[in-house]
Chain A
Amino acid sequence: MHMHFEVEGGNFSRAGYASSEIKKVLKKLNVNAQTIKRIVVSSYEAEVNIVAHARKGKISATIDNDKIVLQCNDEGPGIPDIEKAMQQGFSTASSEVREMGFGAGMGLPNIKNNADKLEINSEVGKGTNVKITIALSSETN
């Protein structure tokens, strides 16, 4: 099954909406609670990245019997040095964003820690595509 969400850049009051909707579906699918947590952390971080850095973006979730694939595509500044962006604590967020509790430079490393597979493609001045894959398993109890 597929889900699509439009994400608006700069709209922090709505950040988290897509992750929340994805979570509701995963609960109904009886996905293991720990797995749901990993997925929600990953999608939330990706969503906040779009809100904080890009003009706009899209998140799509494709769920099948054994995995979820999250595609997060945005139109934004792009990431000049992906390796550097993957380092914990590295952040280009503005001071305003940091004051709101975001932009601590934990986003991408956090996604990496929670995802089974993470692919990032970025073009400076155009935008960033993040593809997150996480395997699913049912609740055991």
Chain B
Amino acid sequence: MKSNGFHHALTFCKETCVGCSHCMKVCPTQAIRVHNGKAELMPNRCIDCGECYRVCPVDAIKVEQDDFDFIFNYKYRVALVPGVLLGQLSEEINPRQIYSVLMELGFTHVCEAETGAEILKHAMENYVSKNPDIRPLISAFCPAIVRLIQVKFPSLVNHIIPMKPPLDIAGLYYQELLKKQGVNEDEIGLFYITPCAAKIAAIKSPVGEVKSVINGVINMDFAFNKVLTTIKQSKSPSCFVPSDSYLSPQAILWSLTTGESSNMPGRSLAIDGINNVIEFLEELENEEVSNIDFLELRSCDESCAGGILTSTNRFFTAERLRNRAKSANRKPDKTEVGMEIRDFNDYLVDHLKIEKIEPRSMLKLDENIKGALEKMKKVNELMEILPYVDCGICGSPTCQSLAEDIVREEAEVSRCIFIQRILEQKGTFTQQESIDVMKEIWGEKKLDKDLK
């Protein structure tokens, strides 16, 4: 797949941003710089993990979502609901009540996003046994992790199992189900209620696919508020209540940490939290890790229960999903929704593969080694004079990243406040020049304060 740039669900609102640099400091791929007092994103480095969104003190980082009315462009409007939405609401609220509210909002069908987990599980088991030469194999479930591997660990891209997540399988299933009932494909709108930004980016510019089967996204915080308000305000939902659905305990737990690894044969490991994942992938790349068959890697702490668009405590969400899984430990009734998916098994298995995932390293200083070596020499020379304090006052997250920005001609060494002092001492830099540089990085406002 050719693409001229990567779609990002996270956008920085310049009007709201106060240039505090919290986001720049936590970004795991060093994709943020401060310029003119505002945070700016380097699109080729961003993996949409949302760590910046978590720490922004003024809500200047927005997660894009489709206008809700967009769903009415379709005659058949399917809400794909992930378990973590249910897990966020009190156990007194029945899933059927939640579906009923979603239908009151305008959806015509509700399908649980994990409905396809069983089919995927078997396909993944198959892939693991048919590819004994690649170990460990890594799940493609978390889109932020897929992007992380592409930009930061390009040598590991062939370890990713090239398969769609359960969400896409649920979408394909519902599409086929409606088509079987005589509905035209272009009348069907599939909408995912997303707990995170990375899923949005994955739907808008999928990796290993030309176009996603999902038509749009609704942010989970929006859906959560709608559902809760409606339930609080009216005791009994007025519209049609859909029949109960059956999900296996494995499917219910799929989006939580160990949800995949506990199902996979061989030796598996589950790691959550983007920094834990990075640490582990460094070791894996160094060949310090061996004899692991399968890796489940999730960007958020507690996986999707800790997604940036969730509203309740992640541990309670996880607990509720575990309770739900326990009570689902019974033989499903044949009339329940979720059982028909077996009729589409062959079609779904045929359509769950994605194309090869391409590396797109963000680390290289130059395309060829000769050029990169020259640039690295300059970086090392700069590191001799930079202070190694990673204060971020230059607008880059670390001294090393400033040095690399300078070599790429995106910054000047005079941005470093320590270098400024040294140059002033030597008489080659004036106080005014130093003020001008600071204003260029942090904007007029920060240096325009009235001290008395």
| A contact set with B: CB distance below 8 Å | 1, 16, 19-20, 23, 25, 27-31, 33-34, 36-37, 40-41, 44, 63-66, 101, 136-139, 141
Contact = CB atoms under 8 A, between A and B. Distances in A.
Nearest to B372: A29
B359 A29 contact: no
B366 interface: yes
A28 B376 contact: yes
B446 interface: no
Contacts of A16: 283, 286, 288
Contacts of B361: 27, 30, 139
Contact of B367 (A20, A30, A66): A30
Interface centre among A19, A33, A40, A137 (most CB of B within 10 A): A33
Sort chain B's interface into a size bin. 20 to 34
Interface of B: 154-155, 282-283, 285-288, 290, 358-359, 361, 363-370, 372-373, 376-377, 380
A40 B376 contact: no
B365 A40 contact: no
Contacts of A33: 154-155, 359
A112 B380 CA distance: 31
Contacts of A65: 369-370, 373
A29 B155 contact: no
B180 to A, nearest CB: 41
B376 A41 contact: no
A24 B367 CA distance: 16
A29 B154 contact: no
B155 A36 contact: yes
Nearest to A30: B364
Nearest to B364: A30
A23 B154 CA distance: 12
B288 A44 contact: yes
A28 B359 contact: no
A139 B380 contact: no
B155 A28 contact: no
Contacts of B376: 1, 25, 28-29
B366 A30 contact: yes
Given A27-B363, A37-B285, A65-B370, 5 more contacts: A27-B364, A28-B372, A29-B369, A30-B361, A33-B154
B376 to A, nearest CB: 6
Contact of B365 (A30, A44, A66): A30
12 contacts: A1-B377, A19-B286, A28-B376, A30-B361, A30-B364, A33-B154, A36-B155, A40-B287, A65-B369, A101-B290, A138-B367, A139-B367
B412 to A, nearest CB: 21
Nearest to B152: A27
